[in-house]
């Protein structure tokens, strides 16, 4: 199973060891699900997670974030994006996650902000937008 993660899910996974986001991160680290990663998504993760306010909230250093992202990069399935998809999402920055999910044929795009994706034109893209909690519950039912 291939998944694409919005930055808010990765942030939540690093912020708290409880909750669905952290459990999804553990699934990735255990290679029970495959993370789709494009250069655009990687640099979005890096940009958001290394902001000084976020480093303080996460109680991590830039070196620690780089190590985490290096590990995720090692485990991820990597995809180059050679085109732009613009499904009319309210937040233009969310398009890069749709592009990665589409290029990777991800089964799921996991985000805490599903309302931002519901308003877009995502019919026929082949992936389902789902919250971390809903994804983890579904995964447990089918795989545990």
Residue-range domains of the chain with CATH: 2-143 (3.40.50.1010)
Q: What is the pLDDT of residue 124?
A: 59
pLDDT digits (tens, 9 = 90+) for 6-35: 999 999 999 999 999 999 999 999 999 999
- Rounded Cα gap, residues 16 and 29, in angstroms: 16
The percent helix, strand, coil of the chain (3-state, each to 5) is 55, 10, 35
pLDDT digits (tens, 9 = 90+) for 94-116: 788 988 998 899 999 999 988 77
Among candidate residues 134, 143, 140, 106, the one with its CA nearest the CA of residue 5: 106
Determine the 3-state secondary structure of 62 from DSSP: helix
User: Structure pTM?
Assistant: 0.90
């Amino acid at each position: 199973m291939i998944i694409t993660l919005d930055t808010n899910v990765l942030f939540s996974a690093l912020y708290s060891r409880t909750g669905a986001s952290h459990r999804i991160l553990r699934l990735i680290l255990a290679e029970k699900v495959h993370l789709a990663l494009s250069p655009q998504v990687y640099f979005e993760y890096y940009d958001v997670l290394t902001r000084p306010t976020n480093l303080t909230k996460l109680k991590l250093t830039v070196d620690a974030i780089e190590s985490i992202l290096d590990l995720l990069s090692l485990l991820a399935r990597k995809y180059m994006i050679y085109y732009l998809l613009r499904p009319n999402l309210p937040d233009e920055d969310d398009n890069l996650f749709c592009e990665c999910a589409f290029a990777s044929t991800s089964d799921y795009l996991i985000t805490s902000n599903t309302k931002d994706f519901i308003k877009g034109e995502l019919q026929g893209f082949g992936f389902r937008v789902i919250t971390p909690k809903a994804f983890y519950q579904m995964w447990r039912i089918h795989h545990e």
